[in-house]
Amino acid sequence: MTDQPPAIAVRDLRKCYGGKAAVDGLTLTVPRGCFFGFLGPNGAGKTTTIRMLMGLAPPTSGSIEILGLPMPARAVEIKRKIGVVPDESVLFDRLTGGEFLEFAGRMYGLERRVAAERAKELLELFELHSAPRKLIAEYSKGMRKRLTMAAALIHRPEVFLMDEPFEGVDAVGARLMKDLLLDQVRRGATIFLTSHVLEVVERLCDRVAIIHEGKLVMEGGMAALRSGSETLEDVFVRLVGADRAAERLDWL
């Protein structure tokens, strides 16, 4: 429906640490059913923004609405509707993958039988079922990312918040994850993604925003970007002022 509120609406969002703004007056609207890339150099404020959207870090000022619901006033209701893949996977190392997925499903309110069935199916889908008794503590970084993605999918959320979801994942696993995310967008879900791999963002995303030193410096559709002569990498480097890229050391 056209009168539905956007998936994410952020207005004049600020987050300060020790008097310094990590996010400085960010205003952003993410439409429903959009694959949205949120980009910036290291330290630009991407992860801080994601943490505020997740409800893990309270903003210093400004407002956040997800699916028309204000954060943090309705945080519990919002968290039932979102799937999260944080930059650092925080998992229960003494559980097996299946046990963790069942736990995640139950936390999202699924019935025990449904949670168990979906956990089994997700383990097979993400190719984590070959050693069912293997503890998460023994998982590689890529396996942990796959498991985190599976946990984010188990309750079929309307919005995904993903911070570097492909980091440490091999090519086969990354391809599987990308295809799954595209399927979620086709069914109407919204994905808010940060990634340093600009080629991935350019291939997957409908819209992109670039943040630099806590401020939004560019936001627009990928189709308009592709119609020009610049690649996403060209735009990114130009906007974040990476002039040092052209410098050389005499002895190298």
Write out pLDDT tens, residues 143-186: 999 999 999 999 999 999 999 999 888 899 899 999 999 999 99
Residue 7 has pLDDT above 50, yes or no: yes
Phi/psi region, residue 214 (left: phi>0; alpha: psi -120 to 50; beta: rest), is: left
Cα distance between residue 162 and residue 152, in whole Å: 9
Mean pLDDT of 9-17: 96
pLDDT, residue 129, reads: 86
Looking from the CA of 245 toward its CB, the CA atoms found within 13 Å total 9
DSSP state letter for 238? H
Cα distance between residue 189 and residue 157, in whole Å: 7
pLDDT, residue 167, reads: 87
* CATH homologous superfamily for the domain 1-81+159-252: P-loop containing nucleotide triphosphate hydrolases (3.40.50.300)
Confidence of residue 138 (pLDDT cuts 50, 70, 90): very high
Confidence of residue 81 (pLDDT cuts 50, 70, 90): very high
Q: Which residues contact 97 (CB under 8 A, 6 or more apart)?
A: 123, 128, 132, 134, 136, 139, 143, 147, 150
Its pTM surpasses 0.85: yes
Residue 249 has pLDDT above 80, yes or no: no
